[in-house]
A and B are shown apart, each in its own frame.
Chain A
């Protein structure tokens, strides 16, 4: 079974059909995708700013991190689930979309960045936990994380503008010219 078959079977699944044929399911799923991703981003920023020595600096890093980590993962789960649901409604188009592919690549990079942080600075956290600024490697990871997540948000928005969904309205289909025809 090659990838084209997988994409085609996802697209023709009962679930994908339900979402495509519903007036409100796709918009609702997309809304919850935005809630998930903004929560992932906003709470990740809290950790990154702490590492960079910009905010929450009076609290130990581990305290700041433990306040938000479980919420980041919960929000990430919501974002992934809703993302997958949107993906199956038009799998072939998303799969070949440049912005979608770039976004997936950057998501992978964000994951690798996090693993490297855990394996390097994360290992010696007890030494710098209370420092205002984390070690260079941790600050680099934090800056990279901010950059990656902001770019991921931009790419995500671009996916919406560059893919057309079979049965649901797209963002760009409201045409100002049509709404306000110029008087002859």
Chain B
């Protein structure tokens, strides 16, 4: 990973990002704007599952409203995220927070995708039994907490020393 980060930091795109001071804060700001859309979209779908909002809408109507925004914002996250890794390879790739965040993002995205597919296949399956409703509600709470974890870990990349010896960064 050290070698890869070093190689990446010498690529021309990385050097461009490094030499223009305004690029990193701009990409970070766009990344934060997009995570706002991700978080709020997941939040609204989860509130609907819990029955705390949008009760005049079916769950499918709710995911039709927020799903496309969630996917689009996740794409923005991916692009700006890749640019940040290219711009500051050591800061990202050697951070424990970064890799833990990537795990949570992957799980969160797969869960959201699978849930969406299952919902399209059978809209009312999830509310058929009390046990099923309960497990979907727990899933909603767990995934939302996971996305909050993604935000926290994203910020902690800047402070990877909090992880002590788990951080690969020589600065930690």
Chain A: interface residue total (CB-CB under 8 A): 40
Are A41 and B155 CB-contacts (below 8 A) given A158-B25, A169-B161, A179-B90? no
Q: In the bound complex, do residue B39 and residue A42 qualify as a contact, i.e. CB atoms below 8 Å apart?
A: yes
Inter-chain contacts of B40 with A (CB < 8 A): 38-39, 41-43, 45-46
Which of chain A's residues have a CB closer than 8 A to the CB of B159?
Answer: 24, 26-27, 168-169
Cβ-based interface call for A171 (8 A): yes
> Interface on chain B toward A: helix, strand, loop, or mixed SS?
helix
Q: Is the CB of A31 within 8 A of B155?
A: yes
- Nearest chain A CB to B8 CB, angstrom units: 10
Please state if B33 and A176 are interface contacts (CB–CB under 8 Å). no
- Candidates B6, B36, B57; contact of A38 at CB < 8 Å: B36
Bound CA–CA A68/B29 (angstroms): 23
- Given known pairs A27-B162, A174-B91, A174-B171, the reply for A34 and B32 (CB within 8 Å) is yes
Contact with A along B48-64 (1 / 0, CB 8 A): 00000110110000000
Chain B positions 58-99 with a Cβ under 8 Å from a chain A Cβ: 65, 69, 88, 90-91
Interface flag for A117 (CB, 8 Å)? no
CA distance A30 to B152 in the complex (A): 9
A37: chain B residues within 8 A (beta carbon): 32, 36
- Contact: B90 with A176, CB < 8 Å? yes
User: Any chain A CB within 8 A of the CB of B143?
Assistant: no
Contact of A55 among B32, B69, B148, B151 (CB under 8 A): B69
Cα-based distance from A59 to B154 in the complex (angstroms): 34
Looking at chain B, what size class is its interface with the partner chain? 35 or more
- Contacting B at CB under 8 A, from A93-130, are none
**In whole Å, how far is B31's beta carbon from the nearest beta carbon of chain A?**
9
In the bound complex, do residue A176 and residue B9 qualify as a contact, i.e. CB atoms below 8 Å apart? Answer: yes
- Is B117 engaged at the interface, CB distance under 8 Å to the other chain? no
Partner of A180, one of B37, B90, B91, B154: B90
B100 within 8 Å of A (CB atoms): no
Closest Cβ–Cβ distance, residue A154 to chain B (whole Å): 4
Residue of A nearest to B91 (CB): A174
Other CB < 8 Å A-B pairs besides A27-B158, A34-B152, A42-B40, 12 of them?
A23-B161, A26-B159, A31-B155, A34-B32, A38-B40, A59-B54, A153-B33, A157-B29, A161-B25, A174-B88, A180-B6, A180-B90
Binding site for B on A (CB under 8 A): 23-24, 26-28, 30-32, 34-35, 37-39, 41-43, 45-46, 55-56, 59, 63, 67-68, 71, 150, 153-154, 157-158, 160-161, 168-169, 171, 173-174, 176, 179-180
